[in-house]
C-alpha cells in the first residue's frame, strides 16, 4: 500500500503528515507505536490490517510530530502537543462524528481528545493503551530502556522489536527494528519513553462519555493485560475485549480478529450514554476489602495495590453487568460504592462481587441499603452520591463477615419475593453515626435442590 502523503499545519506551525484511503465514515488512526506510515502501511507489514479497516471506513493515518514524515524537530514531550496534532488534523479535515482509534502510547492523546471534544466523536477505540504510565513496569526497567535508547539506539530498537514481536522470525524482527530507527532518532525515542512512563490521564477517564472499545492481548509483554482492565474500569461507557496471543504489534500475524472486532463494535447500534447518577431513591452497594492492613503487611504495599487495582476493575465490570453504576470517585481501599435501581440486581451483583473477592484472595465486606441519595460532582469533575443512606450502606458492610452480604430491612423488603435468595435475621444493630438501630439480614443463596423441590425463592424469618 503506497500512501499518498498530505500535510496539515498546527496553529504553532508544525507540519503533520497524513494519508487517507477507503470509503465510508471517517476513522482517524492515532498510532503511538514506533513505526511511521511508511513502514506500517507497507504490504509486508500492516497493509492487510489497514486495508481491512478501510473496507468500511475512510481511514486517516498520521505520523505524530517527531516521527516519520511529520516535522521531526520536537522539544515538548508532554501530552499537549499530541492533542494539538489531533485537533489540527480534525479541523483540517472538517471531522464531525468520527471514530478515533488510539493505538498504544497515543492512547493518552486519544483519551484527552475524547474528554475535550465529545461532540465530535461517535466512538473511541483503544488498543494496547493505558491510563497510568508510572504503573506500566518496574522503575529499573524504565531506567534501563531510557538509557539504552540514548546510548545504544540500535540495540534498543532491536530490544523493543523483540518485546513487541515474540516468536516472530528474526528477519521480521530486524525489519521492524530498522523501521523504528528510521521513524525517530535516539533522543526523541528516549524522550518518548520518559513521557510514556510518567504520563497519567486517569483523571480524564470519567469525562470520556462516547462508547469505547478497549482491546489488549492477554499475553502482551509490552503492555500487561492488567493495564487494560484498569483503563476499562475508569471509563464510563467502555467494553473490554481480551485478545489471544502475545504479539503487541497490532497488525502482525493474523490481524483479522482485531479488524473484525472493531468492525462489529462500530456496526452495533450506538449504546445510549449512561444515565446520570440518580438523585432520589436508590439501592446502594458498599464493598470493602476485609483486613486490608494485615493483607498489606503480608503481601507488601506494591503487591497489595496491584491485586487491589485488578479486583477494583473486576468489581466495576460485575456491577455494570448487573445494571448498576459504579461511582467514579470511589476506589478500592476506600471502598467501592455503586447504585442500582433494582434490589434484585443489587443483591445478585453483591454476591458476584463476593465471589470475585474470594477468587482474588481479597475477601470483601459487603453491605446494601436503600434510600435517598444526592448526586453531586466532586472538585475533580467526577460524579458522586452522598446522603445518610450511603453512610448506612457503608456501616452495614462493616458488620459483615468476609465474603458475606448483609442487607438492611429496607432492601430485604424490596427483594424478598424476587431475589431468589433467603435472608437470615441478624437483629437490630447500632451503627456508628446513625441515630436509630437498623435491622440487618444476611443473604443466603437458595440451594439448587430446594428450588427444584418447589421451595423456590423466599425468606426465612
pLDDT at 24 over 90: no
For the chain, first and last CA: distance in Å?
72
Q: Stretch 14-37: mean pLDDT, rounded? A: 90
Query: So what's the pLDDT on residue 449?
Result: 41
Over residues 203-240, the pLDDT tens digits come to 999 999 899 999 998 888 889 989 998 898 889 888 88
Q: What is the CATH number of domain 280-452?
A: 3.30.70.1230
Decide yes or no: CATH 3.40.50.1820 for domain 6-267. Answer: yes
pLDDT at 400 over 70: yes
Over residues 285-301, the pLDDT tens digits come to 999 998 888 888 888 87
pTM: 0.62
> Long-range contacts of range 379-383, CB-CB < 8 Å, 24 or more positions apart?
380/203, 380/329, 381/203, 381/206, 381/207, 382/206, 382/328, 382/329, 383/206, 383/276, 383/277, 383/327, 383/328, 383/329
pLDDT at 156 over 60: yes
Delimit the CATH 3.40.50.1820 region(s) of the chain: 6-267
Separation of alpha carbons 306 and 137, rounded Å: 12
Specify whether the CB–CB gap between 33 and 105 falls below 8 A: yes
Q: Stretch 256-260: mean pLDDT, rounded? A: 82
pLDDT at 375 over 90: no
Delimit the CATH 3.30.70.1230 region(s) of the chain: 280-452
* Helix or strand run (H / E) with residue 215: strand 212-217
Mean pLDDT, the chain, whole residue set: 85
Sheet strands (E) in 359-437: 364-377, 383-386, 405-408, 421-429
Query: So what's the pLDDT on residue 383?
Result: 60
- Kindly indicate the confidence band of residue 146, based on its pLDDT and cuts at 50, 70 and 90: very high
Query: So what's the pLDDT on residue 369?
Result: 94
Amino acid at each position: 500500500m503506497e500512501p499518498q502523503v498530505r500535510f496539515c499545519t498546527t496553529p504553532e506551525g508544525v507540519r503533520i503528515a497524513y494519508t487517507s484511503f477507503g470509503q465510508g465514515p471517517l476513522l482517524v488512526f492515532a498510532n503511538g507505536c514506533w513505526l511511521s506510515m511508511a513502514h506500517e502501511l507497507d504490504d509486508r507489514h500492516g497493509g492487510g490490517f489497514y486495508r481491512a479497516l478501510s473496507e468500511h471506513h475512510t481511514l486517516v493515518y498520521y505520523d505524530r510530530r517527531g516521527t516519520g514524515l511529520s516535522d521531526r524537530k520536537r522539544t515538548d514531550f508532554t501530552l499537549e502537543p499530541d492533542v494539538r496534532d489531533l485537533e489540527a488534523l480534525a479541523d483540517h479535515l472538517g471531522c464531525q462524528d468520527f471514530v478515533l482509534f488510539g493505538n498504544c502510547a497515543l492512547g493518552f492523546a486519544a483519551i484527552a481528545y475524547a474528554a475535550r471534544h465529545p461532540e465530535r466523536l461517535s466512538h473511541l477505540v483503544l488498543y494496547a493503551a493505558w491510563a497510568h504510565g508510572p504503573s506500566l513496569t518496574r522503575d529499573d526497567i524504565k531506567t534501563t530502556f531510557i538509557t539504552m535508547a540514548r546510548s545504544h539506539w540500535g540495540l534498543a530498537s532491536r530490544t523493543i522489536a523483540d518485546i513487541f514481536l515474540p516468536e516472530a522470525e528474526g528477519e521480521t524482527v530486524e525489519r521492524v527494528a530498522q523501521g523504528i530507527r528510521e521513524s525517530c532518532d535516539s533522543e526523541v525515542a528516549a524522550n518518548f519513553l520518559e513521557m510514556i512512563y510518567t504520563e497519567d490521564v486517569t483523571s480524564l477517564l470519567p469525562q470520556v462519555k462516547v462508547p469505547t472499545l478497549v482491546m489488549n492481548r492477554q499475553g502482551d509483554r509490552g503492555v500487561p493485560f492488567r493495564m487494560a482492565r484498569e483503563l476499562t474500569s475508569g471509563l464510563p461507557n467502555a467494553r473490554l475485549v481480551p485478545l489471544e496471543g502475545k504479539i503487541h504489534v497490532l497488525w502482525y500475524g493474523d490481524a483479522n480478529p482485531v479488524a473484525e472486532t472493531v468492525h462489529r463494535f462500530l456496526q452495533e447500534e450506538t449504546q445510549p450514554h449512561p444515565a446520570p447518577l440518580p438523585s432520589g431513591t436508590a439501592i446502594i452497594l458498599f464493598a470493602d476489602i476485609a483486613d486490608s492492613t494485615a493483607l498489606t503487611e503480608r503481601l507488601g504495599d506494591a503487591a497489595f495495590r496491584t491485586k487491589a487495582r485488578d479486583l477494583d476493575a473486576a468489581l466495576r465490570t460485575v456491577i455494570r453487568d448487573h445494571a448498576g453504576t459504579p461511582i467514579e470517585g470511589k476506589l478500592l481501599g476506600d471502598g467501592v460504592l455503586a447504585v442500582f435501581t433494582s434490589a434484585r440486581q443489587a443483591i445478585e451483583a453483591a454476591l458476584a462481587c463476593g465471589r470475585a473477592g474470594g477468587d482474588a484472595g481479597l475477601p470483601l465486606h459487603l453491605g446494601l441499603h436503600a434510600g435517598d441519595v444526592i448526586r453531586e460532582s466532586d472538585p475533580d469533575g467526577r460524579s458522586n452520591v452522598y446522603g445518610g443512606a450511603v453512610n448506612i450502606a457503608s456501616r452495614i458492610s462493616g458488620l459483615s463477615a468476609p465474603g458475606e452480604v448483609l442487607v438492611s430491612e429496607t432492601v430485604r423488603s424490596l427483594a424478598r419475593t424476587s431475589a431468589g435468595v433467603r435472608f437470615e435475621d441478624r437483629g437490630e444493630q447500632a451503627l456508628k453515626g446513625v441515630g436509630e438501630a437498623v435491622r440487618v439480614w444476611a443473604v443466603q443463596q437458595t440451594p439448587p435442590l430446594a428450588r427444584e423441590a418447589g421451595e423456590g425463592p423466599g425468606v426465612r424469618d
